[in-house]
A and B are shown apart, each in its own frame.
Chain A
Amino acid sequence: EADIYQTPRYLVIGTGKKITLECSQTMGHDKMYWYQQDPGMELHLIHYSYGVNSTEKGDLSSESTVSRIRTEHFPLTLESARPSHTSQYLCASAPTGDNTGELFFGEGSRLTVL
């Protein structure tokens, strides 16, 4: 079992609310990622970080933002949620120096915006 945790697991909110999805890992991994997953669709990378104070946007355009102030913590924030943000958000991490590219995933945060 990977030591990577996401909260909340499920969230139902109204349009216009600000939300933060938390992701923490205790493995000391430098690389962390946020993916968006919709039913029947492949995972899409929305943000990644290769270390503290390093954040980059992924392949899928997203209105969310991320921060990486501590190695173990990589929260994702939506300033004003909309129904189009309804999705499953998966956080993952990987150790620097691992050439195989294995990703260790959290259990996901399922967001529903009404």
Chain B
Amino acid sequence: KNQVEQSPQSLIILEGKNCTLQCNYTVSPFSNLRWYKQDTGRGPVSLTIMTFSENTKSNGRYTATLDADTKQSSLHITASQLSDSASYICVVRGGYQKVTFGTGTKLQVIP
């Protein structure tokens, strides 16, 4: 069964600190992996996409990694800001365009 597991479930960090969110998946075959950011009361918005051949990709203060061998991805947030408070959802696309969602990590950045 295709699964996407994210950790931690929730995280509280001080403003300015860094953090790393994890995503492990069992989806096969693998097409791509996306990280979405979902602000409270809003719909998810794509942050970055990782394909099989990509190991690292940055989008501002967000850096995603992918290890296709171990089926793990991480999202690193540098110098966190209050506006980073949100849920971060890992979504893996497999064969036949099948999409599997993780349950998300809820990040709270406090001053």
Query: Cβ of B99: which chain A residues have Cβ within 8 Å of it?
Result: 45, 101, 103
What's the count of A-B pairs with C-beta under 8 Å?
45
The answer on a CB contact under 8 Å between A92 and B43 is yes
Query: Number of B interface residues, CB 8 Å?
Result: 21
The answer on a CB contact under 8 Å between A107 and B32 is no
Query: Number of A interface residues, CB 8 Å?
Result: 17
Shortest distance in angstroms between A71's beta carbon and chain B's nearest beta carbon? 20
Within 8 A of A (CB), among B60-107: 89, 93, 97, 99-104
Q: Give the segment of A14-22, A36-44, A75-83 that binds chain B.
A: A36-44
Query: Cβ of A45: which chain B residues have Cβ within 8 Å of it?
Result: 99
The answer on a CB contact under 8 Å between A105 and B31 is no
Interface on chain A toward B: helix, strand, loop, or mixed SS? Answer: loop
The answer on a CB contact under 8 Å between A90 and B32 is no
Within 8 A of B (CB), among A33-53: 40-43, 45
Q: Report A's interface with B, CB cutoff 8 A.
A: 2, 4, 40-43, 45, 90, 92, 100-103, 105-108
Q: Report B's interface with A, CB cutoff 8 A.
A: 4, 9, 31-32, 34, 41-46, 49, 89, 93, 97, 99-104
The 8 closest A-B pairs by CB, nearest first: A105-B43, A42-B101, A43-B101, A101-B93, A42-B103, A105-B44, A107-B42, A107-B43
